[in-house]
Amino acid sequence: LFTSPALQAQKTTATPAQALTTTGLGAPLSKRNAGVSVLGCAIAMVAVGGCAQGIGQLFAALVVGMARNPSMKEDLFTYTLIGMGFLEFLAIVVILIAGLLLYSE
């Protein structure tokens, strides 16, 4: 009641421990569920590694296919780009879902 405004301002600032228990939107996280969203995000990001492996196998198959039949080069490359587009779309969707899981409670 009889304190200076500087002391009142010090009481209202957040401590580092309080800053760690809030999300980016400022909603408080419960102490029990604070790491569950991070674990869910990490598990979802495993699928991005699967997409990277799929792209590697796709281009390895392209090289093998062009070595066996060089006259089909244009068709094989077109099909490879279509497949890569699907894999990239899957990776983007997984990253978006992982972001939603990261900021969910």
* DSSP per-residue codes, 49-100: HHHHHHHHHHHHHHHHHHHH-GGGHHHHHHHHHHHHHHHHHHHHHHHHHHHH
Domains of the chain plus CATH, in order, are 5-102 (1.20.20.10)
Rounded to whole angstroms, the Cα distance separating 39 from 76 reads 39
pLDDT at residue 92 is higher than 60: yes
Q: What pLDDT is attached to residue 23?
A: 54
Whole-model pTM? 0.63
For 63-84, what is each residue's pLDDT tens digit?
999 999 999 999 999 999 999 9
3-class secondary structure, 47 = helix
For 25-65, what is each residue's pLDDT tens digit?
555 555 556 688 888 888 888 999 999 999 999 999 999 99
